[in-house]
A and B are shown apart, each in its own frame.
Chain A
Amino acid sequence: MLRKVLYIDLSSRESWIEERQDLFEDWMGGTGVGIKLLQEECPAGTDPLSPQAPIILSIGPLNGFFPVATKTVATFKSPLTGELGESYAGGRLSLALRFAGHEAVVIRGRAERPAYISINDADVNVKDATSIWGIDAQTTGVILREHETGVGRRSIIRIGPAGEKLVRFAGVVVDTYRHFGRLGLGAVFGSKMLKALVVSGTEHADVPDARRYREVYSRLYSTIVKTDVMEKYHDIGTSVNINVLNWLKGLPTKNFILSSFSEGEKISGEMFADNYLFRRLSCAGCPIGCVHIAALKSAFSTHHEFELRKVSYDYEPIYSLGSNLGVSTAEGILRLIDVCERMGMDVMSAGVVLSWATEAMERGLITTKETMDIPFQWNNVEGYSRALESIVKPPNEFYSALAMGVDYAAKKYGGREFAMALGKNEVSGYHTGPASIVGQLVGVRHSHLDNAGYSIDQKAAKRSMDPEMMVDEIIKEDNSRGVFNSLVGCLFARGVYTEENIIDALGAVGITKTKDDLQSLGRRIFEEKYKFKIQEGFDLSHAHIPKRFYETVSTLGIVAPETIEEMLRQYKKKRGWGPG
């Protein structure tokens, strides 16, 4: 099996390939290899937007070989949080990397002028992108398609103006509808003058025993198409949770002032599916087809002239740009998602920044003087849309501050107690209870997907759990997801990849692992990530928790600060970080 790292230096325009068998043997691939390469490449205190800061893309041993092993992980130093940056994207990237023969790519340096990287198998070229600098992320894809080979098997990842302008929560758009959304990878691309990366490959991969491989493949495939994940993510999609969480009082509304939205029905997944959904798509190698695309038709004159936009949606953007901003129409939400797509910025961070600013304006911390006459008001789609574009420009100090993320803006203008970030990362759409808060706070990248605290809370709503049980679950997920993210699989189908199935699948591609191996790998990966976090200044004991979390009723009732303190104490004790 190919176990190689491709190094690209944008400053010298050189590239070379190194065989790193040991690295992959010890750290599997994906996030395991990603964190080790980050440690190698990124010395303590590196400015995340300097040429010295690396971008690392990696896939794992199952990508391309097995269903739903569809993700690529990006590892970098986050310009938003100043510590570990890690983001996952689907689409066709992992497949393109597999068939180009690179399990990891390290990008260093800074191009002299706007550039894009073209990878065709072992052939790597740094090309001029001056003429497309400043162009939105969607059009960039359309243009690059014309110039590059590999129709149908290539992947095009690119930034929009937000990344170029170093908005700290700019993302990278992957094959139009998927993203390296979180933690500011787009700004890191921008700082390197890197507009895009196109990957295509023509290699194929062999397996040691074709019969065994087919047997394991068929078994995993039929488990996937038979489990309820297929129905859940395929039918209404993740947005089915809007109604569910609204009903459970876990849907953050108007900057977490509320946890249910009186107009939630109007923006429910069912509403989107019945009225806007027109097709579903899959990442290459996944039978689920969770990517939901809405057709947004809007008239631009009274003479039946229309614009048609195809916008992908999910639970998270409906929360962040919908309920969280009091936006009560599906159309309004789609319009805001579309702005974020074109600008190339993370929808979650963008929504939370706007919701903080809206409340700050209500409370008089900012006025129309700062916002340059844009009224930040709940449900004001037009105003929000202009505000998002201003964040990218930005025309004054206020918008520059918003472009740094909510924690920064609130430190400057006040209202940190309702600036909804944990570990400086704007939070995701769950006010389900203590496990969601603690989970995102301790998580390696401060994401709800680090350990799915929101799902632990929902479990606790059915069968009560004490803080210690919750902490145990968080630690279990922290570690096991490290393994799954090394493979690199889609978390929607994580249930199918039990330890037994992972061992079988690895066996079929010629890698022998035991349960103990996997468990120790999960622990080691977590520890290495925390080493990096601590090196870059993250301190769990002093991490800020906005008071708002304690004021608004959650799925599990009002969360007491003492519960969070107790859980953090337990967590540190169980991690061996403190006496408890």
Chain B
Amino acid sequence: MVGNVNVEAEMKEQKKRRRLKVAHPERCIGCLGCMFACSRTRTGTVSLQNSAIKVQTQGGIEGDFRVVACRGCDDAPCARACPVGALEQRPDGAVVFHKDLCTGCGSCEKACLVGAITMGKDAKPIKCIHCGACVAFCPHDVLRLEEVSA
């Protein structure tokens, strides 16, 4: 039931491409542990805005939670939409972000129907890197990190 906090460390070791998966959204208890883990790990801040994963409420907490996370598309629309190549899809499928190239136009945000990309306060996209930190801090088995077969 409880996430393995060491996933964070393990992730650094592995090489094969891994992908975050919202495996059981209906199990979400709305703790926001994943969001804090994401901003804490990626940006060293305490923030909801800086998180690449978003847990949204629909009709307050009486309603169901919607867990919005990057799907790690094989043919990634966000990368295709980027006019300057700041979001680049590598041959192994991973989408990498080159901050220095980004003009902050927001095309990527629009291209992703899931809503996985939001623009940060610095007008740059907040994009999931599939590191798995959020998985380690989900207490309710909602999230999973899966290996992507090449």
Contact = CB atoms under 8 A, between A and B. Distances in A.
Contacts of B55: 152
23 contacts: A64-B46, A91-B61, A95-B32, A95-B48, A99-B48, A141-B60, A142-B60, A152-B54, A152-B56, A156-B60, A175-B61, A204-B45, A204-B48, A204-B50, A205-B46, A207-B46, A214-B40, A226-B2, A281-B30, A282-B30, A284-B31, A287-B2, A287-B137
Interface stretch (A31-39, A216-224, A495-503, A516-524): A216-224
A379 to B, nearest CB: 29
Interface in B4-45: 5, 8, 29-33, 36, 39-41, 44-45
B61 A67 contact: no
Interface residues of B, number: 32
A65 interface: yes
B139 A176 contact: no
B44 A210 contact: yes
A560 interface: no
B49 interface: yes
A153 to B, nearest CB: 5
Contacts of A279: 29
A345 to B, nearest CB: 19
Nearest to B46: A205
Given A153-B48, A204-B39, A222-B5, A176 B31 contact: no
A293 B86 CA distance: 45
Contact of A217 (B40, B45, B59, B140): B40
B31 A286 contact: yes
B139 A225 contact: yes
Interface string A264-302: 000000000000000111111111110000000000000
Contact of B45 (A67, A205, A218): A205
B57 interface: yes
Contact of A221 (B32, B39, B121, B137): B137
A287 B28 CA distance: 11
Nearest to A210: B44
A112 B121 CA distance: 38
Given A225-B2, A283-B31, 8 more contacts: A152-B48, A176-B62, A202-B49, A204-B45, A206-B46, A217-B40, A221-B137, A287-B31
A213 interface: yes
A204 B56 CA distance: 18
Contact of B29 (A156, A202, A281): A281
Contacts of B50: 204
B59 A145 contact: yes
B47 interface: yes
A214 B33 contact: no
A289 B140 contact: yes
A31 B45 CA distance: 26
A218 B3 CA distance: 11
Interface string B41-84: 10011111110001111011110000000000000000000000
Point out which of B5, B30, B41 has the most chain A C-beta atoms below 10 A from its C-beta.
Answer: B30
A25 B101 CA distance: 44
Contacts of B41: 214
A13 to B, nearest CB: 27
A112 to B, nearest CB: 29
Contact of A177 (B2, B3, B36, B61): B61
Contacts of A310: 62
B2 A65 contact: no
Interface string B123-149: 000000000000001011000000000
B49 A204 contact: yes
Interface string A220-236: 01100110001000000
A278 to B, nearest CB: 11
Contacts of A205: 45-47
A204 B39 CA distance: 10
Given A202-B49, A204-B49, A218 B140 contact: no
Contacts of B44: 206-207, 210, 213-214
A175 B62 CA distance: 9
A70 to B, nearest CB: 9
Interface in A163-178: 175-177
Contacts of A281: 29-30, 61
Contacts of A177: 61-62
Contacts of A141: 60
Given A64-B46, A214-B41, A287-B139, A176 B60 contact: yes
B62 to A, nearest CB: 5
Nearest to A96: B48
A454 to B, nearest CB: 27
Nearest to A222: B5
Nearest to A310: B62
Nearest to A99: B48
Nearest to A70: B31
A151 B45 CA distance: 21
A153 B60 CA distance: 10
Contacts of B61: 91, 175-177, 281
Contacts of A218: 5, 8
Interface in A342-394: none
A142 B59 contact: yes
A580 B61 CA distance: 52
A280 B60 contact: no
B40 A213 contact: yes
B50 to A, nearest CB: 6
Nearest to A235: B1
A67 B33 contact: yes
Given A281-B61, A282-B31, A289 B139 contact: yes
B143 to A, nearest CB: 13
A152 B57 contact: yes
Interface string A130-163: 0000000000011001000001110010000000
B1 to A, nearest CB: 8
Interface in A61-113: 64-65, 67, 91, 95, 98-99
- Most B CB contacts (10 A, CB to CB) among A141, A202, A218 go to A218
A176 B63 CA distance: 11
Nearest to B41: A214
A289 B47 CA distance: 21
Contact of A151 (B2, B32, B57, B140): B57
A522 B134 CA distance: 36
Nearest to B57: A152
